Amino acid sequence: MEYPQAVAQVTHPASNLEWETPLYAQAATQLAHALELAEVPDFVATRLAHPERAVILTLPVRLDDGSYASFPAYRVQHSSVLGPTKGGIRYDMAVDLGECAALAMWMTWKCALLRLPYGGAKGGVRCNARELSMPELSRITRRFTAELAPFIGPQLDIPAPDMATNEQTMAWMMDTYSMQKGYAVPEIVTGKPISIGGSVFRHEATGAGVVMVIERACGRLGWNLSEQRCVVQGFGNVGGIAATELYEHGARVVGVADISGGVHAEGGLDIPSLHAYVAEHGSLEGYETGVERVSNEELLELDCDILVLAAREDQVRGDNAANLHCKLLVEGANGPTSVEGDRILADRGIPVLPDILTNAGGVTVSYFEWVQDLGRLFWDRDEIRRRLADKMSDAFDRVWSVSEERGISLRDAALVAAIREVSGALEARGVYP
Ligand code: NAD
C-alpha cells in the first residue's frame, strides 16, 4: 500500500503495521502534511504517527434463534498525553482496526483543538445493527464492555455513541461496567440517558455545533445563513439535528439523504415532517410528498450553497469532487473527504470546514457530561449551550487565524493548531522513561 513517506520514515522501516488500511493512510497523510507545517520536534512526530494501544476481540454472542455468532470488535487508543482517551463506539459492517485507528487519531486532534483534557480513541463491533434485535444488541454491547473492562475507565478511556449506537447502548455499557465494580459509575461513558447521569443537550450537541461553526464561517465569508440553500447527507444524530438547526435558522434545506436515498425540493424541505416520517418508518424510504427522489450520488451533486456531509467517511473523492456544486463543504461526519477530494476542492476554491473542528460539539458536551458526573452537579440546557458556543467559537477563530496568517487550508490550520497543543504537552512531559 502507498504509505506517506514522512510518516513511514518515523515508523517501521520495512513492513506495514496491522492498522494500515486506506482510511488510516488518509489520516496519516493528513498528519504527515500538517507536520511539515507545524514545526514540532521529531520525537513528537514519531510518537503521534501511531496509536498507543489497540485491542482486538471476538465476541461470542447468542442470537435470538438460539445459535451463536462471533463478532469482531476493536478499541484503539491513540494518545493519552493530554488525559484519558475519549471516542465513540460504532456498530457497522465496515468496522476494522484501520478505521478505528484513523478515527482515534482524528479524535486526538479534535480534543486538542477544542482544548479538552483528553486524547483520542475509537472502537466498534463489526455487525449490521439494523438486522439485530434489541436483546441481541444488548448482549453484544454487554459482552464487549466486559471484555473491554481492563482497558476503559473514567480516568483511562471513556466511550461514547457513534454510528448505529445511541443512549441505550451507552446505558448498557454503563450498567455492565457498574455491575463489575459493584457501584454506579456514570462517568464511564458519555452520551447516556439523562436519568443515569447523561447531560441535557448532549443528544443535540454535534449537530448544533456543526451549525454554530457554519454560522461563524458565514460571518467571515460575509454571507447571511438564512439566505443559504443547504444540502445535508445523513439524517441520523448529526445530520438530522443539523438539518433541523439550519431549518430553524431560516436557511432553505433543499436536499437530505439517509442510507435509503435522498429527497430534493428546490423550494425547501419540510424538515419536521421528514423527522416525523423517519420516526414512524425508520428511514426516508418511501417519502414522496412534494419531493423528488434522488440517489445519494445525485444528492452530493445538487446545486446548493452549503453541503453538509453527516453520514460517513469517504463520500467526496477524486471521482466525484469535480462534480460538486456547493460553495462551502461542511464535514459533520468524520473523514468524509478523501485526500484527493480535498485537493480537487482546493483547486476549485471551495473551502472545507474540517471534521476535527466542525463536529467537535459532541465530544465537547461529552466533556461537560463527564465533568458533571465527576462533580455530581448538573448544569441546565442554556448554560451548556452557551459554554458549547464559547468553545466552538474560540476554536473556529483560532483555526481561521492560522489559516489566514499562514495561507493554508482550514484543514491544515486545524491540524497544525491541534498538533501544537499535543506537542506542547508531550515536550513538557517527555517520553518515559
Ligand atoms: P447515525 O447512525 O445516527 O446516522 C448516520 C446517518 O447516515 C443515518 O441517517 C444513515 O442512514 C446515514 N447513512 C449511512 N450510510 C450512508 C450512505 N452511504 N449514504 C447516505 N447516508 C448514509 O450516526 P451519527 O452519530 O449521526 O454519525 C454520523 C457521522 O458523524 C459519523 O461519521 C460519525 O463518526 C460522526 N460523528 C458523530 C458524532 C455524534 O455525536 N454522534 C460526533 C462526531 C462525529
Percent of the chain at pLDDT > 90 equals 96
pLDDT at 262 over 50: yes
- Give the closest residue to 40 by CA, choosing from 433, 430, 432, 424: 424
16 pLDDT band, cuts 50/70/90, is: confident
pLDDT in tens, 134-162: 999 999 999 999 999 999 999 999 999 99
Question: What is the model's pLDDT at position 1?
Answer: 39
Residue with CA at minimum distance from ligand 1 atom 15: 259
- Give the closest residue to 255 by CA, choosing from 199, 186, 303, 318: 303
pLDDT at 70 over 80: yes
344 pLDDT band, cuts 50/70/90, is: very high
Rounded to the nearest whole angstrom, what is the distance from the C-alpha of residue 163 to the centroid of ligand 1? 5
Beta bridge partners of 74: 56, 124
* Whole-angstrom distance, CA of residue 116 vs CA of residue 198: 18
Residue with CA at minimum distance from ligand 1 atom 8: 236
* Whole-angstrom distance, CA of residue 24 vs CA of residue 45: 16
Question: What is the model's pLDDT at position 191?
Answer: 97
Question: What is the model's pLDDT at position 3?
Answer: 43
Please list every protein residue whose CB sits less than 6 Å from any atom of ligand 1.
161-164, 206, 233-239, 257-259, 296, 310-312, 332-334, 359, 362
Most informative mutation of 26, 116, 163, 190 for ligand 1 (most atoms within 8 A of CB): 163
Contact 242, 225 (CB under 8 A): no
Calculate the average pLDDT of the chain.
95
What pTM, to 2 d.p., does this model score? Answer: 0.94
Q: Which amino acid is at 36?
A: E
pLDDT at 212 over 50: yes
Residue with CA at minimum distance from ligand 1 atom 40: 362
10 pLDDT band, cuts 50/70/90, is: very low
pLDDT in tens, 160-185: 999 999 999 999 999 999 999 999 99
Residue with CA at minimum distance from ligand 1 atom 33: 333
Contact 196, 220 (CB under 8 A): no
Edge-first strand listing for the sheet containing 85-91? 53-62, 68-77, 119-125, 85-91, 157-161
pLDDT at 18 over 50: yes
pLDDT in tens, 30-51: 999 999 999 999 999 999 999 9
Residue with CA at minimum distance from ligand 1 atom 16: 259
pLDDT at 13 over 70: no
Rounded to the nearest whole angstrom, what is the distance from the C-alpha of residue 331 to the centroid of ligand 1? 11
pLDDT at 99 over 80: yes
Question: What is the model's pLDDT at position 15?
Answer: 64
Q: Which residues, including other chains, have CB under 8 Å from residue 393's CB and lie 6 or more apart?
A: 212, 216
Rounded to the nearest whole angstrom, what is the distance from the C-alpha of residue 237 to the centroid of ligand 1? 7
65 pLDDT band, cuts 50/70/90, is: very high
Q: For 398-402, what is the mean pLDDT?
A: 98
Which ligand 1 atom is nearest residue 312's CA? 32
pLDDT in tens, 353-384: 999 999 999 999 999 999 999 999 999 999 99
Beta bridge partners of 308: 232, 330
- Give the closest residue to 29 by CA, choosing from 343, 307, 316: 343
Phi, psi of 122 (to 5 degrees): -160, 150
pLDDT in tens, 296-316: 999 999 999 999 999 999 999
pLDDT in tens, 270-279: 999 999 999 9
Residues involved in catalysis: 122
Measured in whole angstroms, the distance separating CA 35 from the mean position of its chain's CA atoms is: 22
Beta bridge partners of 337: 316
Q: For 12-29, what is the mean pLDDT?
A: 83
Q: How far apart are the first and last CA of the chain?
A: 34
